[in-house]
């Protein structure tokens, strides 16, 4: 604040403290057992006893405390106080302490590979904290995802679930796209695919329906999802045979995906997280799924 407002605050603050002291001592006078001049209902009078000494002393102490506080800490305009304390200085000191604490916590983990971090208690604690702050908004606090956001606790990984693949996903992000086929399919072809794809893993699916669906699939879908329908990690195309559906299964969901396509994006976090944070959160995510699936 400028000099005028600084002086204004100082004058008002000091004047208010002096006024409080004057008011206290001005009203401290009284006559024990005496009464005031006012009379109500013929005989009702107000006592004019002095203020209790303990109450008066306590109030005076609060004023003195205020004066002492303003002498040592900022509060009187632009005056910084004799101790030179500032909220910014305290914040910076606490931040420096936290930064050093964080440096020491990560230092012991630098040489460990990600799959080892997945079994390290301290790394898991740090990784969960990073996950809750940066990933839970999409994947959920339990990492089980939602419609359009993958479940990180199962064994289904579109771009691969190895430690290196997870680190790459977090660092660089991922983009998955299913192109719309609306207008390129006949009604018969669409029907064959919708009746087959959602039930690929169902052994009860009639052989005729499966054969018709596979024929359409081989022509129009195998290029991205693979001839066996298990997807290609290089493209991020999902496995259609495991009955795990990012956008939901069933005829209508699959029909929508075929006709109108899908577009999903995992944003890159290399500008949000440093290398240490990426490694520990990758270890935490890796720990949520079965390691044996990837031979680790």
Output the pLDDT for position 193.
Answer: 96
pTM for the model: 0.71
Q: Are residues 129 and 279 in contact, defined by beta-carbon separation less than 8 angstroms?
A: no
Query: pLDDT (tens digit, 9 = 90+) per residue, 32-69?
Result: 556 666 777 676 777 767 778 888 889 899 999 999 99
d(CA 242, CA 259) in angstroms, rounded, equals 22
| Least confident among 2-11, 164-173, 175-184, 278-287 | 2-11
Output the pLDDT for position 292.
Answer: 44
Mean per-residue pLDDT, 164-169: 96
Output the pLDDT for position 25.
Answer: 82
- Asked if residue 272 has pLDDT above 80, the reply is yes
Query: pLDDT (tens digit, 9 = 90+) per residue, 89-110?
Result: 999 999 999 999 989 999 999 9
C-alpha distances out from residue 10 to 16, 18, 88, 150, Å: 10, 12, 22, 60
- Asked if residue 210 has pLDDT above 80, the reply is yes
Output the pLDDT for position 295.
Answer: 40
Output the pLDDT for position 294.
Answer: 41
What domains can be seen in the chain, in order of their start residue?
A: 3-72 (no CATH), 114-294 (1.10.760.10)
- Asked if residue 188 has pLDDT above 80, the reply is yes
d(CA 66, CA 124) in angstroms, rounded, equals 48
264 Cβ partners below 8 Å, 6+ apart? 148, 174, 175, 176, 177, 246
Neighbouring C-alpha atoms within 13 Å toward the C-beta of 265: 4
Joined together, the tokens standing for residue 139 give 């994947």
d(CA 58, CA 272) in angstroms, rounded, equals 53
d(CA 226, CA 144) in angstroms, rounded, equals 26
The mean predicted confidence, pLDDT, of the chain is 90
d(CA 131, CA 287) in angstroms, rounded, equals 12
**SS3 call for 117:** helix
| Least confident among 27-41, 116-130, 246-260 | 27-41
Query: pLDDT (tens digit, 9 = 90+) per residue, 20-37?
Result: 888 888 777 765 556 666
Q: Are residues 267 and 173 in contact, defined by beta-carbon separation less than 8 angstroms?
A: yes
- Asked if residue 251 has pLDDT above 50, the reply is yes
Output the pLDDT for position 296.
Answer: 41
Long-range contacts from 140-148, C-beta under 8 angstroms, 24+ separation: 143/285, 143/288, 147/246, 147/247, 147/248, 148/246, 148/247, 148/264
- Asked if residue 189 has pLDDT above 70, the reply is yes
Output the pLDDT for position 293.
Answer: 43
- Asked if residue 212 has pLDDT above 70, the reply is yes
* Cα pseudo-dihedral 210, 216, 217, 222, rounded to 10: 150
């Amino acid at each position: 604040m400028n000099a005028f407002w600084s002086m204004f605050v100082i004058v008002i603050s000091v004047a208010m403290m002096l006024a409080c002291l004057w008011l206290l001592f001005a009203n401290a006078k009284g006559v024990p057992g005496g009464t005031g001049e006012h009379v109500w209902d013929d005989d009702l009078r107000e006592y004019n006893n002095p203020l209790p000494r303990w109450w008066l002393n306590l109030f005076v102490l609060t004023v003195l405390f205020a004066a002492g506080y303003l002498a040592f800490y900022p509060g009187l305009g632009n005056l910084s106080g004799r101790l030179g304390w500032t909220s910014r200085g305290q914040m910076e000191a606490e931040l420096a302490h936290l930064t050093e604490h964080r440096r020491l916590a990560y230092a012991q983990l630098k040489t460990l590979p990600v799959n080892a971090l997945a079994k390290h208690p301290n790394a898991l604690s740090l990784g969960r904290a990073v996950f809750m702050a940066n990933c839970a908004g999409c994947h959920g606090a339990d990492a089980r995802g939602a419609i359009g956001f993958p479940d990180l606790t199962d064994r289904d990984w579109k771009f691969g679930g190895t430690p290196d693949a997870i680190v790459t996903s977090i660092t660089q992000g991922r983009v998955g796209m299913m192109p719309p086929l609306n207008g390129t399919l006949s009604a018969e072809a669409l029907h064959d695919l919708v009746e087959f794809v959602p039930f690929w893993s169902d052994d009860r699916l009639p052989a005729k329906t499966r054969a018709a669906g596979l024929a359409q699939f081989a022509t129009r879908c195998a290029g991205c999802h693979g001839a066996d329908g298990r997807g290609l990690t290089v493209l991020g195309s999902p496995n259609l045979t495991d009955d795990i559906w990012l956008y939901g299964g069933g005829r209508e969901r699959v029909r929508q995906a075929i006709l109108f396509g899908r577009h999903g994006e995992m944003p890159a976090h290399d500008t949000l997280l440093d290398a240490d944070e990426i490694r520990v959160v990758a270890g935490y995510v890796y720990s949520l799924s079965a390691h044996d699936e990837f031979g680790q």
